[in-house]
A and B are shown apart, each in its own frame.
Chain A
Amino acid sequence: MTLLTSAGRSRARTAGAVVITAVLLFPLYWMVNASFQPSGALLKASPDWFPVHGTLAGYREAFSGQTGHLLTSLVVALGTVVVSLAIALPAAYALAQLRVPGNLLVVFVFLTVQMIPGIVMADALYTVFSRLGMIDSYPGLILADSTATVPFAVLVLRAFMVSLPRELSEAARVDGAGYWRVFRSVVVPLSRNAVVTAGLFSFLFAWADFLFAVTMTTGQTIEPITVGIYRFVGNQTADWNGIMATAVLASVPAAVLLVIAQRYVVAGVTGGALKD
């Protein structure tokens, strides 16, 4: 009897949760729906709730007009991952495993610089980069994006490496391994999960970045997908079918991340945000 009612209650709760999820994810559905509808259907008085008379015109348009922007974003995002990990991994190792005075201060600085508004960074970096001829360049955009990902990667990796038993690296030291060897052969392999988290989030950030993308490029040579969408939306004759198809394509990395790396996501972010 009690079992039955609690099962019933659980089912009711599931139903409620499905409704809540449906409501909150409705904007995403509406994006996908619009991406498959002919532009004319999108301007009717009563909307089509399902893409019954679907069209792939939006995707054709998105692929022909935005492929270059998607590739640009891919290159920038991958470059940001490389730069972030190259700087953050050794730093996190030193901050977590090599107990020296001043470590805490460095952690504090990395925590604090995350609070500098992006617009301030963009303003200052623009003047520096324009003097160095790095506007409209991949290295410029990658380095600008890394200012947001390096501190995050350091904090996430350090939070993980602090929990690695120091006996392991001490033992390797006793066996005659140098610090570099310990870092490369013991600490980094053991930190694989944290490296994946930091790398994925660096990728996702750089992929989604709009502020640096719009300030560090003039749209002449390289233009990431976020700026592509922004300019697309800005046109007076808004073609929502094509815009939403582009938006769907730009969301693919997030969806993939959610599927393949779900368990890293929560642990990684709460680790970076709360533990430090």
Chain B
Amino acid sequence: MDISRTEPGGHPAEAAATGPSAQPPARTGRSGRTGRAGGPGRPRTQRSRQRLAAFGFLAPALAYLAVFFGYPLVQNISMGFRDYTVASFYTGAAPFTGLRNYTEVLGDPVFVKALVNTAVFTAGSLVFQFGIGLALAVYFNGRFLGSALLRSLLLLPWLLPLVVSGAVWRWMLDQDHGVVNTALRALHLAGGSAGVPWLTSPSWALPAVILANVWIGIPFNLVLLHGGLRAIPDVLYEAAELDGAGPWQRFRHVTWPLLRPVSGVVLMLGLVYTVKVFDVIMVVTRGGPANASQTLTTWSYQLSFQQFQFGQGAAVGNLLILITTGFGLLYLRSARAGLAEAAS
């Protein structure tokens, strides 16, 4: 498909430029400036001009990367080693304190709690949103009336602002007036008339935010996994059916193995995004009660923007970067094949 790869130097433009008779006069004039007109030097001029143009088009983006990602990253790493507080904004002074932010953060009992919560929140969210997403993808992969319409309706929760979803779940999980407890009471599952204290009890807050986050994550899993299912040729299912394979065997031996690459990417993306979830937890429980649903992200926010310990907030943020980078590298390894293909 791509000429430049199969025949190096075989671009129509380059062919036109190397053939002396085909050169428009303007081209001769322009390349004359480089002093290497005609002959084998020609494509190189073409290439260096293209390189210059590419740099021109990339320049704003490169400057943007440096200013809005490079500088903040350096700033955040530096802040992690400094006593950066509200006073620092006025005096400009943020004394270097070495590893003190890190020792304080790591020694804080909230750290262990936030770390465990982050792990439970991430694992719980991934297991349920992937499992439900996969089941729905398989269900909606069958051909039936309204399948496409209903599937696109299911996207709606994904497109809503997370704050909206969080607010709705907070309302639904209200202990006295929430519809979740109403339903549980009707089914005699709520443990008496008091209902489940979803948002006020330390043992229920984390399950509550996981529940809300799973609901938000289902459409993403559904969409990507459905795309993966569509790529599996029908012939394989027909062959398996001829061999007498039932629905479960077809899933186990055709769908599951062939879906593995997509599943891997979906889980990795889900992981990288779930580790840093902020909005949902902030709106539903604000990390409470008593840090029961505090994760590294919300704790970093609390340290920086509520306790104004920017140095400590940055230290937690940097730990978070380490975690996401670790998982990110795994993701890139799994996506490398796709990347090489897209870049060719």
Contacts and interface: CB of A to CB of B under 8 A. Distances in A.
B163 interface: yes
A106 B58 contact: yes
Interface in B247-291: 262, 265, 269, 272, 275-276, 278-279, 282-283, 286
Nearest to B170: A233
Interface string B118-162: 000000000000000000100110111111001011111101111
A103 B343 contact: yes
Given A30-B168, A91-B58, A127 B156 contact: no
B24 interface: yes
B320 A117 contact: yes
Given A93-B57, A121-B72, A174 B12 contact: yes
Given A27-B168, A31-B168, A131-B89, A113 B69 contact: yes
Given A17-B144, A176-B26, A208-B161, 14 more contacts: A31-B168, A86-B60, A93-B57, A110-B65, A115-B272, A115-B325, A116-B73, A117-B276, A120-B321, A123-B76, A159-B342, A208-B163, A229-B283, A258-B156
B62 A106 contact: yes
Given A21-B153, A230-B283, A207 B147 contact: no
A214 B140 CA distance: 38
A90 B168 CA distance: 40
Which 6 pairs from chain A and chain B are nearest by CB?
A124-B72, A208-B161, A91-B61, A94-B57, A254-B159, A98-B54
Given A124-B76, A170-B11, A275 B54 contact: no
B81 interface: no
A16 interface: yes
Interface stretch (A58-66, A189-197, A239-247): A239-247
Contact of A162 (B155, B272, B283, B342): B342
Chain B interface main SS type: helix
Given A11-B145, A47-B177, A87-B64, A95 B58 contact: yes
B50 A99 contact: yes
Interface string B204-226: 00000000000100100001100
11 contacts: A13-B142, A13-B144, A43-B177, A100-B54, A112-B332, A116-B324, A119-B304, A230-B163, A254-B156, A265-B155, A276-B335
Contact of A119 (B165, B278, B342): B278
B324 A266 contact: no
Interface of A: 9-11, 13-14, 16-18, 20-21, 24-25, 27-28, 30-31, 34, 42-44, 46-47, 86-88, 90-91, 93-95, 98-100, 103-104, 106-113, 115-128, 130-131, 143, 146-147, 150, 154, 159, 162, 166-167, 170-171, 173-174, 176, 179, 183, 204, 207-208, 210-211, 214-215, 225-226, 229-230, 233-234, 240, 243-244, 247, 250-251, 254-255, 257-258, 262, 265-266, 269-270, 273-276
Chain A interface main SS type: helix
B51 A100 contact: yes
B245 interface: no
Q: How large is the interface on B (under 10, 10 to 19, 20 to 34, 35 or more residues)?
A: 35 or more
Interface stretch (B97-105, B236-244, B310-318): B310-318
Contacts of B169: 27
Interface string B179-202: 100100000000000000000000
A77 to B, nearest CB: 11
A42 B338 CA distance: 51
Contacts, number: 302
Contacts of A210: 161-163, 278-279, 282-283
Given A109-B65, A276-B338, A119 B300 contact: yes
B144 A91 contact: no
Contact of A104 (B60, B79, B278, B343): B343
Contact of B321 (A117, A131, A258): A117
Nearest to A73: B161
Contacts of A244: 167-168, 171
A219 to B, nearest CB: 12
A154 to B, nearest CB: 7
Nearest to A269: B223
B235 interface: no
A25 to B, nearest CB: 7
Interface string B71-97: 111011001000010001100000000
B317 to A, nearest CB: 4
